[in-house]
Amino acid sequence: MAVYTEVTDEALADFLLGYDIGTMVAFRGIAEGVENSNFSLRTSTGDFILTLYEKRVDPHDLPWFLGLMEHLAQHGLVCPQPVRGRDGAALRQLSGKHAAITTFLPGVWPRRVRQGHCSPVGDALAKLHVAGAGYAPTRANALGPGSWMPLLDRCRARGDEVQAGLIRELDTALASILAGWPAQLPVGHIHADLFPDNVFFLNDELSGVIDFYFAATDLLDYDIAVCLNAWCFEADFSFNVTKSRALLRAYQTVRRLSAAEQAALPVLCQGAAIRFLLTRLYDWLNTPAGALVTRKDPMEYLRRLRFHLTATDARAYGL
C-alpha cells in the first residue's frame, strides 16, 4: 500500500493550475513503494508521477533530493525529472503534504534478477556517481555507519525475540565493521537504495532509476556494496559471483576502482548488509500488527551479512 493520503479530484485540478502540463485525464494510486504516496497521473499533455511526501521523509531534505534528480537527469541518467510549476518551484503543497510531480518513466522493475540485469545496473550506478559530481549541495547519510550502533541499541531489548543470540552476533559484527570502516575512499552522491524495485528495464535494457529519497553524500563504494547485496544473492541467499562480477565490471568500465577501494569491498558489503538488517529489525519490532505496510524479514540480511563476513578480499566478489 503506497497511498496514505487521499487527494480529491478538485484538489488535484486546483493543484494542476500551478503547472503548465495540461488538465487531468486519469489518476490512480500506485501500489508500489512504502515511504510516500504515489499516483500515476495522466494529463492532456502526457504522463507523470505525483508524489506526496509522508512522515518518514524530512521536508528539509526535499529540495536536495529534487535538485539531485534534476541534475542527474540533465547529465544523462534516466531518472524522474521534477516538473516545475509556473512559478518555477518543483516542491509544492497538496492535501496538507509536500508534493512534487515528476516525469513518468517507462519500464518494469525485475521481480527476479537475472544475470543480464547486473551489467546495466553497474553501468548506471557508475554513471550516477560520475554525473553526481557536478551537484554541489551535500546531504549527510542519516543511515550511514554512525547510525548503526544507535539503531542496534534501539533494538537491543527485544532483538532476540526475532532470533536467539541475534543481538550478540550483531554486536560482534558491528564492532568489527566499524573498526575496519575505510576512511579515505572517494566521497560523492550515492543512491543508497538501488534495489531491483528502483530500477526499470524495457526490452532487457535499463530504462530508468527511481526513488532517490535515501540518496546522500557518502562513500561511493558503499553504494556498490548496497547493490551487491541487492542484486547478487539468490533466493536461497547464496551469493552469485557471476552476477557480482558482471555488475563490478560494468561499473569499472565507467569508473575504475583503486586497489584501496577494491580491498574495502568486504567491509563495505558487511556494512550495507547490517544497515538493511538493522532498519528492518527496527521496523519488525516496531510496526503495529495492524499496519498497512508489509514488514520485511530482517533475517534475510543476517544471511547476507554472514556471507560477507567470510569474504577476505575483493576476489569473493569476482574481482
Report, in Å, the least distance between residue 159 CB and its own copies.
21
- Determine, following the binding rule CB under 8 A, whether residue 1 of this chain makes contact with its own copies: yes
- Determine, following the binding rule CB under 8 A, whether residue 157 of this chain makes contact with its own copies: no
- Determine, following the binding rule CB under 8 A, whether residue 187 of this chain makes contact with its own copies: no
When the beta carbons of 19 and 249 are compared against its own copies, the nearer one is 19
- Determine, following the binding rule CB under 8 A, whether residue 206 of this chain makes contact with its own copies: no
- Determine, following the binding rule CB under 8 A, whether residue 235 of this chain makes contact with its own copies: no
Give ∠ CA 166-227-48 in degrees, rounded to 5: 115
Label residue 173 left, alpha or beta by phi (over 0 means left) and psi (-120 to 50 means alpha): alpha
Q: How far is CA 226 from the centre of its chain?
A: 9
- Determine, following the binding rule CB under 8 A, whether residue 161 of this chain makes contact with its own copies: no
Report, in Å, the least distance between residue 310 CB and its own copies.
30
**Cα 257 to Cα 254: distance, rounded to the nearest angstrom:** 10
Give ∠ CA 313-317-319 in degrees, rounded to 5: 80
When the beta carbons of 25 and 187 are compared against its own copies, the nearer one is 25
**Cα 210 to Cα 266: distance, rounded to the nearest angstrom:** 27
Cβ atoms 222, 190 nearer than 8 A: yes
- Determine, following the binding rule CB under 8 A, whether residue 110 of this chain makes contact with its own copies: yes
Out of 112, 165, 259, 310, point to the residue binding its own copies (CB under 8 A): 112
- Determine, following the binding rule CB under 8 A, whether residue 17 of this chain makes contact with its own copies: no
Render 66-101 in DSSP notation, one character per residue: HHHHHHHHHTT---PPBPP-TTS-S-EEETTEEEEE
Report, in Å, the least distance between residue 289 CB and its own copies.
5
Of the candidates 106, 96, 94, the one whose C-alpha atom is nearest the C-alpha of residue 13 is: 94
- Determine, following the binding rule CB under 8 A, whether residue 96 of this chain makes contact with its own copies: no
Of the candidates 283, 245, 227, the one whose C-alpha atom is nearest the C-alpha of residue 115 is: 245
- Determine, following the binding rule CB under 8 A, whether residue 292 of this chain makes contact with its own copies: yes
**Cα 291 to Cα 8: distance, rounded to the nearest angstrom:** 23
Q: At what angle do helices 166-179 and 148-155 cross, to 10 degrees?
A: 170
Out of 108, 179, 183, 259, point to the residue binding its own copies (CB under 8 A): 108
Specify the stretch interacting with its own copies by CB under 8 A; choose among 108-116, 174-182, 224-232, 239-247. Answer: 108-116
When the beta carbons of 83 and 131 are compared against its own copies, the nearer one is 83
Specify the stretch interacting with its own copies by CB under 8 A; choose among 59-67, 196-204, 236-244, 259-267. Answer: 196-204
Looking at the chain, how many residues does it have? 319
Check residue 314 and report its DSSP letter: G
C-alpha cell at 289: 500488527
Interacting residues with its own copies between 271 and 290 (CB under 8 A): 289-290
Out of 22, 59, 76, 106, point to the residue binding its own copies (CB under 8 A): 106
Specify the stretch interacting with its own copies by CB under 8 A; choose among 178-186, 195-203, 232-240, 278-286. Answer: 195-203
When the beta carbons of 47 and 61 are compared against its own copies, the nearer one is 47
Can you tell me whether residue 130 is helix, strand or coil?
Answer: helix
Which positions touch its own copies (CB under 8 A)? 1-3, 6-10, 12, 23-32, 40, 42, 104-112, 201-203, 289-290, 292, 294
